[in-house]
Amino acid sequence: MNAPLVQMSSVTKHFGARQVLDRLDWQVAPGQVIGLLGRNGAGKSTLLECMLGLREVDGGTVSMFGEDAAALSDGARARIGYVPQKSDLFDWLTPLQMLEYFEAMYPRWNKGKVEGLLSRWGFDPYKRNSPIKKLSGGEQQRLSIIRALAHDPDLLILDEPVSALDPVGRRDFLRELVDQVIERGTTVVFSTHILSDLERVAFDLAFLKDGRIALQGQLDALLEGARRVVAAPHALPAGRLQGELRRSYEGALTSVIVQADYEQLAQLAGKPGVRIETLSLEDLFIEMTREG
Amino acid sequence: MTDHTANLFSIATGSSEPIYRQLVEQVRRLAAAGQLKPGDGMPSVREIASSLALNPMTVSKAYSLLEMDGVLARRRGLGMVVANFAPARPADRVELLRPALERAALEARQLELEPDTVLTLFETILKEAK
């Protein structure tokens, strides 16, 4: 594998007494398209902000393009696109004024792309010249995405990029991501709760839980390998199962989530009182981020 | 010979079957049933990715598997075409139903239904669709 674009080592972050990131290790390799999953309040935005050097970390190191994230060079900064969860920056400007302002900061600004996206995503002359704060939440989010894509970034970081978009807007955004961004080999990290979108475009998944990346892997492999084994406790072998991710007790039954080891599953499947179920991404999300 | 479009495919999110698997199984079923004929042109990876809003790597993965299995073949300048495979015998074709039936069997067991009851229902469904 190539040297990682982003390298986070033992990153710790507190807000007051609350620990949000706990000695978190994470790497993002060039060309990866990673979905970042976690419950509300798990710290996904904090993680992305620390990654971008927008927040100081209490411990550990973050590097991007081989540079310290807290002191990125202009060259490295120009290679990053970022869509924050909520952008209220420059909302007194009109879309055209805001884009002009950013154009001056980026050597690689793609005017044709900006124009194309503005017209395809419903920015008529009236909207282009209205103050951003007068636009709807969805329009503001689309504008924020256009700004992040305008300089053809090598690394695109999206924090809940579609939360305010309707299904049509989400599909338009996904198409743009597939046709223009992923096709160019851009590295993409995005957090979202809309698992159907994630399933379409993410190749890798990372689960954030208790301040760490609790599980990471290829989406396909995670889905194909994940099983829920439900059985009376005496029907299961003593100790942990191979690839065991979590175990819970529901009444008289034990439920174990495993990354499948086929031999073991075949053995278990033959036993009376053992039920083996496949999991959807939503099941996996719920199981991997559940408390306790 | 027909050139097929991405309309060939329909995928379901929220399933326990990864999307690349769904694409592979759909092509296999269509080829086994003769809806895809040897020499037919397949839509490009890009076309499918864009039309279904899927990561192109997912589509490539499905195509590579189908190529390895001899269902599809890469033709220079033409992209992917349906390979010159021997049409599946009914005995092989029915195997393609196994994953769907295994899922149904699991649910039938959970509902504690008798095999005869389930088979009768399946027969009724098969006749309804005709």
Q: Which CATH superfamily is domain A6-210 in?
A: P-loop containing nucleotide triphosphate hydrolases (3.40.50.300)
Cβ proximity of A199 and A169 under 8 Å: no
Is A175 close to B56, i.e. CB distance below 8 A? no
Q: Which residue in this structure is represented by tokens 């689960």? A: A207
Q: What are the extents of the domains in chain A?
A: 6-210, 225-289
With b for 16 or more beta-carbon neighbours within 10 A and e for fewer, the A138-174 pattern comes to bbbbbbbbbbbbbbbbbbbbbbbbbbbbeeebbebbb
pLDDT in tens, A124-135: 999 999 999 999
Kindly report the nearest CA distance between residue A118 and chain B, in angstroms. Answer: 19
- Choose, out of A220, A277, A286, the residue to mutate when testing the contact with B (most B CBs < 10 Å): A220
Give backbone dihedrals phi and psi of A77, rounded to 5 degrees, phi first: -60, -40
Which one is predicted more confidently, B110 or A120? A120
Token pair listed for B10:
């329909």
Of A179, A202, A281, the CB nearest to B14: A281
Kindly report the nearest CA distance between residue A192 and chain B, in angstroms. Answer: 15
Contacts of A121 (CB under 8 A, 6+ apart): A142, A146, A169, A172
Which amino acid, residue B20? Y
Rounded to an integer, what distance in angstroms lies between the CA atom of residue A250 and that of residue A255?
A: 7
Q: What is the DSSP string of A168-203?
A: HHHHHHHHHIIIIIITTT-EEEEE-S-HHHHHHH-S
Mean pLDDT of A152-160: 95
Token pair listed for A267:
């053995």
Token pair listed for A42:
């798990």
Q: Tell me the torsion sign for CA atoms A230, A236, A239, A240.
A: negative
Secondary structure of residue A97 in the 3-state scheme: helix
Mean pLDDT of A185-200: 92
With b for 16 or more beta-carbon neighbours within 10 A and e for fewer, the B24-45 pattern comes to bebbbebbbeeebeeebbbbeb
Nearest CA in chain B to A280: B16
pLDDT in tens, A18-62: 999 999 999 999 999 999 999 988 999 999 999 999 999 999 999
pLDDT in tens, B42-89: 999 999 999 999 999 999 999 999 999 889 999 888 789 999 866 666
Using a CB-CB distance cutoff of 8 angstroms, which residues of chain B are in contact with residue A199? 13-14, 19
pLDDT in tens, A211-260: 999 989 999 989 888 888 888 888 888 888 888 888 888 888 888 888 87
Using a CB-CB distance cutoff of 8 angstroms, which residues of chain B are in contact with residue A193? none
